[in-house]
Structures are given as C-alpha cells and as structure tokens.
C-alpha cells in the first residue's frame, strides 16, 4: 500500500516537472528537434537538470541492498544491442518528430481536455498493444 | 534561435530527475513512462499493475496542479487528425519494441550508464530531428 501511495506522489512530482519544464508543450519539443530552423535548446536544459540529479543519485541509491518500500530493485536485465532496440528507437523517433509528444508529456497533457491529446494517447496505447504482440513471436 | 526557457527547463528537469530517483529509492522501479504504461496494458505480474496505475494518475494530477496554479498548461499542438494518430501508433509501437522512451532510456538509462539506453537515446533523437527536417523544411 505504501508503495502505491509513493508512486502516486512521485508520479505527481514527475507530471509537475513536465509542466514546469514545458516539455508538455509539443512546440517546445519540435523546436528542439528543428535544428535547421529556429532551434529551441530548452530540452537540453531539461535533460541537464534531470541528469544532474539522476547521474550521481542512481549509483548512490543502487548501493543499497534493497529499496525502502519494496523487496528488491527491478532493473532491466537486457544488455545486448539488438535489432529490436534499434528498430524500436527509429520508429519511436519518427512518431516523436511528427507530433512532438513522447509518452510522459502526452499522458500528462490529457488533463488539458484537448481532443487531439486524447486521440494521440488512444493511438499510442493501440501501438503499445500491437508492439506487445510482436514481442511474443519467436 | 527561439527564446529558450532556461530556468523552467532546469527546474522542471530537476523535478523529473528527483521523481526518477525517488521511484528508484522508494519503489525500486525505473521511471520509464512507456514501460509503466505498457505494464498496465500487459503485465506479467498483477501486483505490478497498481503502482503503475497510481503513477500515471499522479502524472496527470501533477500536470493538473500546475494548470490550476498557472491557469492552464503550455500546449501548442504540432500535428492534427490522421498525423496525430499515426504519430501515436509509432510512439506506442516503437517504445514497446525498443523497451523505452525519453524518460526510461534518456533520464534513467543514461544514469545507470546503460549502453543500450545511450544507443537508443542517440538514435531516437537523430531520427526525430531528421523527421522534423523532412516534414518542416522538405515536404
């Protein structure tokens, strides 16, 4: 139960950060990606601010035997650079470049009530579901 | 060059990083939004669903709190209709296939010094920039 309450509050902190950084705004994201146009470096400052915390923070936290509210650290186990990783990153990059939305900002922006955001999120969930079917194939 | 939001970017970025660090410290989980969403849609362990749903609810509440404080969200849509649907499908499919997005690979994976995340982040950044170049300056 404590882990669920903490996830709720941490999610809120994350969503608030997405709004403060304006990464919730597709114009900011497209502005960053538009390197030959009127380039907007804001996303770099956001990545810098986030990594300033996580780069030193993660190794310190992972020195612990276990997290505070769970039995164990659940970390990704894959280490190979495989075709799925590369193909997935390419496909995601195309979608991100078209709309300026990645999953976090799109979900957080749902609260605006914009029908366009809802349309994107429904399509994104359908895409994830399709991707999960693809994963199961040998 | 467009006017950057340096203070908001650094501050908001630090809040995002703090949230990712807290999720690791308290819950022992990685704050990758595509993975958290994907785990709700299809999860191997049912006990893993509830914290994920709570996190996504929190994500929306955090944005709503900002909107309440500031009288709205910064939101200027860059695509519409069929293009928005296509983009959503690609983002969902690609993040599932590639095991992560901007938060999972970009913020958390780089902090774990994961070579997979470094490669994925470089690829999706370059491909997204190319996509913007082709859609904004070419076609």
A23-76 residue pLDDT tens: 999 999 999 999 999 999 999 999 999 999 999 999 999 999 999 999 999 999
Testing the interface with A: which of B6, B91, B113, B137 to mutate, by most A Cβ within 10 A?
A: B91
- Name the residue among B63, B99, B120 with its Cβ closest to that of A18: B63
What's CA B1's distance to the chain center, in Å?
24
Q: Spell out which residues of chain A touch residue B114, defining contact as CB-CB under 8 Å.
A: 76, 79
Q: Spell out which residues of chain B touch residue A104, defining contact as CB-CB under 8 Å.
A: 33, 59, 101-103
What's CA B28's distance to the chain center, in Å?
19
- Name the residue among B4, B10, B78 with its Cβ closest to that of A99: B78
d(CA B68, CA B77): 20
- Judge whether residue B46 has pLDDT over 80: no
Testing the interface with B: which of A98, A106, A117, A125 to mutate, by most B Cβ within 10 A?
A: A98
d(CA A133, CA A128): 9
Q: Cα distance from A104 to chain B (closest Cα, Å)?
A: 5
Number of cross-chain residue pairs from A and B with Cβ atoms under 8 Å apart: 505
Q: pLDDT tens-digit profile of A69-123?
A: 999 999 998 889 999 999 999 999 999 999 999 999 999 999 999 999 999 999 9
Banded pLDDT at B32 (limits 50, 70, 90): very high
pTM (predicted TM-score): 0.96
- Residues B97, B33, A131: CA angle, nearest 5 degrees: 20
Banded pLDDT at B2 (limits 50, 70, 90): confident
């Amino acid at each position: 139960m404590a882990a669920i309450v903490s996830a709720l509050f941490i999610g809120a902190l994350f969503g608030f950060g997405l709004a403060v950084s304006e990464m919730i705004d597709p114009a900011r994201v497209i502005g960053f990606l538009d390197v030959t146009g009127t380039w907007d470096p804001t996303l770099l400052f956001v990545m810098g601010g986030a990594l300033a915390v996580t780069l030193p923070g993660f190794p310190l936290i992972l020195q612990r035997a276990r997290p505070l509210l769970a039995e164990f650290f659940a970390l990704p186990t894959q280490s190979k650079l495989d075709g799925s990783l590369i193909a997935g990153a390419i496909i995601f990059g195309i979608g991100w470049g078209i709309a300026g939305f990645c999953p976090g900002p799109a979900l957080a922006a749902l609260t605006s009530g914009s029908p366009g955001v809802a349309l994107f999120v429904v399509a994104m969930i359908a895409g994830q579901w399709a991707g999960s079917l693809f994963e199961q194939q040998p | 060059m467009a006017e950057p939001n340096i203070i908001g970017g650094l501050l908001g970025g630090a809040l995002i990083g703090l949230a990712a660090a807290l999720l690791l410290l308290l819950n022992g989980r990685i704050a990758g939004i595509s993975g958290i969403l994907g785990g709700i849609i299809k999860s191997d362990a049912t006990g893993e669903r509830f914290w994920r749903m709570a996190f996504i609810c929190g994500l929306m509440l955090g944005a709503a709190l900002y909107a309440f404080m500031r009288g709205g969200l910064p939101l200027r849509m860059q695509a519409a209709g069929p293009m928005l649907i296509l983009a959503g499908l690609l983002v969902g499919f690609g993040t599932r296939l590639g095991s992560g997005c901007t938060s999972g690979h970009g913020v958390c994976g780089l902090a774990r010094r994961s070579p997979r995340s470094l490669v994925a982040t470089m690829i999706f950044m370059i491909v997204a920039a190319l996509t913007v170049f082709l859609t904004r300056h070419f076609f």
